[in-house]
Amino acid sequence: MTTSTQQSIILSTDFKKLQGKLRLKILEMYFNANAGHIGCSLSCVDLMIGSLITHRKENEVFLLSKGHAAAALYACLHELGEISDETLKTFYKNGTTLPAHPAPNKIKGIPFATGSLGHGLPIAIGIAQANKILENDEYTYVLMSDGETNEGTTWEGAHYAVAKSLDNLIVMIDKNGLQGFGNTNEILGVSADKNKWEAMGFEVVECDGHDVSEINNQIDLFKARKNGVPKLLIANTIKGKGVSYMENKIEWHYLPMKPENYEIAISDVKNNYNQ
């Protein structure tokens, strides 16, 4: 996908309207599939707008490490023209190339299978290291959940990124405060913590994970500083953002929507995002 296509999308679409448009698409996909993982997709889609849609260049890699939010990824790639209308309709169906977790080698924008949490960062680090060796100017973007920062592979990979001065690596953490079995601060404590990552050697910024302009600005600042330091954006988000009864509710990590749920969700998004 070309940079001009990205610029066209941004120039022709107000961010708030795009946020609403993608949420409506995500809700439609999950409702038609009678599937869960809705809340986590709604919490991170704005981060994808600020990275995958507005920043990733044609040969650059974006990895959704929290693969259970696949519908948000598919909706964004559809917006970019990398997934057709016909293919999008097959989400979750038998024989689909758009399963519950992203599968590789079917769509250009999905180079690796993800969803086993903690693996996306090490893969992204490997790509960033390869780009350093090749001496190109490509960036690697990886979007993680706050829960997966509990994983040992995350910390091992993070130390490697610092040791190898991977300033072409941009990590984003969707910090919504909830993981599979409860609040993150009650499981292993808050490991998506600015001070901990700074102590390792990352350049860290916290932001509002639903303010696309702020996300864009921070990524621009990261890219302007080629200082030998890997970058981390800790994005404070709300699970289920945009749907009143889903916000900050762990059950919407799992539950599918009934027709009455779907109707309310659509109404909420339209009201909240000027649709």
CB neighbour list of residue 125: distance below 8 Å, 6 or more residues apart: 140, 157, 160, 161, 164, 166, 169
What's the structural domain count of the chain? Answer: 1
Q: What pLDDT is stored for residue 113 in this prediction?
A: 93
Quickly list H helices, the chain. 3-12, 15-33, 38-48, 70-79, 85-88, 120-134, 152-163, 184-187, 194-200, 212-224, 259-272
Q: Smallest Cα–Cα separation from 78: which of 90, 94, 66?
A: 90
Contact 83, 36 (CB under 8 A): no
pLDDT of residue 274: 83
* CATH assignment of the domain containing 61: 3.40.50.970
Whether 183 and 221 have beta carbons less than 8 Å apart is answered as no
Q: What is the pLDDT of residue 12?
A: 40
- For residue 179, the model assigns a pLDDT of 80
CB 104 within 8 A of CB 112: yes
CA angle 172, 175, 181 (to 5 degrees): 125
Q: Which domain holds residue 109?
A: 3-272
pLDDT, residue 2, reads 42
Residues 201, 203, 207, 210: what is their CA dihedral angle, to the nearest 10 degrees? -100
The span from the CA of 89 to the CA of 33, in Å, is: 9
Residues paired with 88 in a beta bridge: none
Q: Are 166 and 203 in contact (CB under 8 A)?
A: no
Q: List per-block mean pLDDT (blocks of 10 residues) for the chain, which spans 275 residues.
A: 46 79 98 96 98 96 96 98 97 95 92 89 98 97 94 95 98 90 78 95 98 96 95 98 97 95 98 89
